[in-house]
């Protein structure tokens, strides 16, 4: 095992928090139970990692084994990456998609290798017939850089692909082509949707975020939901504007529903519109060119924050459709121009 590989394995294992070490190593399934038993997991982390790397050397770990460990680590810490979403499309009237995972994988690798000799591609099957792909890019003359890989998550027979943001922008078209051809699609387009929370992105594009359905089997009728302000709490407390508060509550519930919102960290609006002002003779109002302006809303949980705006009295209800359309349209990057 050469030094660079040993170093890479060492750095990958070092990233793993001690509380997860056993779980990740077991998921990796490269070192046997026997080998793991010979290691003292109570020692200092550096010494533990040193011992583990020695075991990997004994077992002659390859680049692919190390790549697999990297995938598993990333699966446990997916929030550390920022994920983009791509949408693929087919020609109308195409045949039924008989997706064969093995064919997809071999086709994908073939297309990448045809263009780039130096590239490391690794696969790990995941739940719901999906696959995690790790790609380490090299160039014509340089070996793949294992420290800046791109991750791709693809659920079979769906048009959506999730990729971790790639710094090497030049490789994106090649990646897109490989994905499209291998999965029997025709075109691929980047969506204006980005977040750290992969599961929320999946919920948004697969339209799985609202799981509340009215059936005869539900016991609580949705219309009889009581106001969150518990009026019966204390008779000395009188709620002012009760009617208005109830209206706001109702409108918020209609817009956002009763379900937990998918998690996004920001919404960005790029405005290229002419300035509109009520005051006549305002300097900016005379400008003929559109004003360029970028508005960014940030939050640890943007959609829950937006949901709480009107009930908290900070904004009027109903909120602007530009804010409320985010999960429905599957966008959190907007470009607004004058019509």
Stretch that binds another protein, among 93-101, 162-170, 173-181, 225-233 (CB under 8 A): 93-101
Binding mask 216-245 for another protein (x = CB under 8 A): xx-----x----------------------
Q: Which two tokens stand for residue 153?
A: 């998550």
Stretch that binds another protein, among 71-79, 91-99, 111-119, 293-301 (CB under 8 A): 91-99
Helix and strand counts by DSSP (H, E) for the chain: 12, 9
Which residue number, 138 or 257, has a Cβ lying nearer to another protein? 257
Least distance CB 182 / another protein (angstroms): 13
Contact pick of 99, 269, 275, 333 for another protein (by CB under 8 A): 99
Phi and psi of 133, rounded to 5°?
Answer: -115, 135
Contact pick of 19, 140, 215, 280 for another protein (by CB under 8 A): 215
Binders in 53-82 for another protein, by CB under 8 A:
none
Contact pick of 46, 94, 100, 316 for another protein (by CB under 8 A): 100
Which residue number, 212 or 235, has a Cβ lying nearer to another protein? 212
Listing DSSP states for 118-184 in one string gives: SEEEEEEEETTTEEEEEEEE--SSS---TTS-EEEEEETTSSEEEEE--S-GGGHHHHHHHHHHHTT
What per-residue string of b and e applies to 289-323 under the rule 16 or more CB within 10 Å gives b?
eeeeeeeebeeebbbebbbebbbeeeeebebeeeb
Dihedral angle sign, alpha carbons of residues 198, 204, 207, 209: positive
Task: Summarize as ranges the residues that interact with another protein (CB under 8 A).
Answer: 95-102, 128-129, 155-158, 160, 205-208, 210-211, 213-217, 223
């Amino acid at each position: 095992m050469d030094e660079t590989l040993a170093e890479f394995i060492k750095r990958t294992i070092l990233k793993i928090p001690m509380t997860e070490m056993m779980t990740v190593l077991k998921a990796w399934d490269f070192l046997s139970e026997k080998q793991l038993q010979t290691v003292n997991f109570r020692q200092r982390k550096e010494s533990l990692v040193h011992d583990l790397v020695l075991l990997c050397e004994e077992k002659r770990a390859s680049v692919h084994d190390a790549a697999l460990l990297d995938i598993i680590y990333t699966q446990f810490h997916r929030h550390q990456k920022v994920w983009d979403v791509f949408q693929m499309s087919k020609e109308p009237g195409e045949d039924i998609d008989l997706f064969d995972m093995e064919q997809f994988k071999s086709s994908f690798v073939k297309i990448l290798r045809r263009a780039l000799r130096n590239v490391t591609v690794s696969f790990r099957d995941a739940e719901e017939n999906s696959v995690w792909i790790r790609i380490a890019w090299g160039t014509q003359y340089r070996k793949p850089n294992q420290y800046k890989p791109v991750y791709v998550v693809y659920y079979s027979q769906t048009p959506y692909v999730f990729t971790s943001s790639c710094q090497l922008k030049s490789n994106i078209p090649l990646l897109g082509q490989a994905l499209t051809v291998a999965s029997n699609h025709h075109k691929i387009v980047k969506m204006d949707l980005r977040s750290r929370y992969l599961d929320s992105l999946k919920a948004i594009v697969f339209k799985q975020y609202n799981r509340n359905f009215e059936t005869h089997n539900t016991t609580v009728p949705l219309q009889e939901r009581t106001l969150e302000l518990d009026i019966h709490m204390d008779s000395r407390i009188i709620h002012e504007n009760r009617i208005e508060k109830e209206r706001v509550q109702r409108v918020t519930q209609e817009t956002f529903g009763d379900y937990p919102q998918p998690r996004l960290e920001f919404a960005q609006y790029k405005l290229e519109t002419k300035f509109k002002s009520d005051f006549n003779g305002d300097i900016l109002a005379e400008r003929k060119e559109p004003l360029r302006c970028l508005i960014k809303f940030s939050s640890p949980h943007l959609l829950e924050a937006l949901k709480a705006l009107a009930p908290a009295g900070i904004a009027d209800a109903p909120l602007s459709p530009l804010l409320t359309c985010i999960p429905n349209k599957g966008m959190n990057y907007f470009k607004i121009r004058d019509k």
